[in-house]
Structure 1
Amino acid sequence: MDDAADLVERFTKAWQAMDPDAFTPLFRPDVHLVHPLEPNTRGVDEARAFMTRTMTLIPDLRYDVQGWASGSGQVLIWGRLYGTLAGRPVEWPLVDRITLADGLIARRVAYFDPLVVIGAVLRRPRAWLPYLRGLLRRR
């Protein structure tokens, strides 16, 4: 329980910092991140690149942590992501399922409806070019 509570506190602070480098101390070197809108990432460098792309698309993105629970080496964190995309607000609920190893994130699976984000991008032509740039950067 102490590892879980510590992780949730550090995770929340990393989101408040809005800096991809704030997340890297939370990750094991071989971290595996799974997200609905991107290919899975493996390792700290890929995880950092994913966070950079996300924060570039929505520079004021924030995660409002609304609760968490832990057990069996897993931590569930739920809340909502929100920010401004192409000058208009966007938000969506999500749950992160995190597998801990030695107090660090070994695996994180994000659960959310990707259609909320895709719909927001499609309805905002000013977001098309930044979104496409992000897609090209991940290749």
Structure 2
Amino acid sequence: MNVSAAAIPDRDAARFVERFGDAWAGPHPEALFDLLHPEVRLLQPIFGPTTGRAAADGGFVRPLLRFLPDLRLRVARWSAVGDVVFIEWNASATLAGRPLRWSGVDRFLLAGERAIERVAYFDALPLFMAVLLRPSCWPAFRRSGLWRSWRTMLVSHAGARRTS
């Protein structure tokens, strides 16, 4: 990925953040993908590294929204430096009839109006624990397809710990 380090105007960063907030208010998957460059690289807890919008769509966005259809992210605050935008967000959803909330930060590297890279930072343990401790959600979790990604990620982390 060869992206210039040119600074983006504050109004462009503000517009990107506004579009991010609007996309997650629905959520609207098409609006989410419109934020991303076709060859975007996505790094996040729970899911392995993903490259490209199509891989993100099938690999975690649609499965996640199948499992948590009322998932919403609200922008808490943001900052931009050069071509990098940081967005702090608060997420909420319902899992097995009970509220689920967590917070995080996304770091975006912009190329024009779209992100060429997104790195998400949040503590995934509360999400794992919520799924594990709410057995009534297990069938929906399996149907969503998320279990494949989580299983792969957990196995790879366990293997890395054994070899280190």
The interval holding the TM-score normalised by the smaller chain is over 0.9
| 1:92 partnered with 2:65 | no
Corresponding residue to 2:28 among 8, 13, 19 = 19
Q: Which runs of 5+ in 1 are unaligned?
A: none
Corresponding residue to 2:126 among 110, 113, 116 = 116
Corresponding residue to 2:49 among 17, 40, 49 = 40
Task: Kindly report the root-mean-square deviation, in angstroms, between the aligned alpha carbons of the 2 structures.
Answer: 1.6
Q: CA deviation at 1:105?
A: 0.9
* Structure with greater strand percent: 1
Identity among equivalent positions (%) equals 41
| 1:68 partnered with 2:78 | yes
After TM superposition, which residue ranges in structure 1, 4 or more long, deviate above 4 angstroms? 136-139
Q: Which runs of 5+ in 2 are unaligned?
A: 1-9, 153-164
- 1:87-115 per-residue CA deviation (whole Å, 9 max, x = no partner) reads 11100010001110012011111100000
For 1:135, the aligned partner's letter is L
How many aligned positions are there?
A: 139
Contact 1:98-1:107 within 8 A present in 2 as well:
yes
Contact 1:21-1:48 within 8 A present in 2 as well:
no
Contact 1:94-1:111 within 8 A present in 2 as well:
yes
Contact 1:23-1:48 within 8 A present in 2 as well:
no
For 1:76, the aligned partner's letter is F
Q: What TM-score, normalized to structure 1?
A: 0.92
Q: CA deviation at 1:137?
A: 6.2
Q: CA deviation at 1:131?
A: 2.2
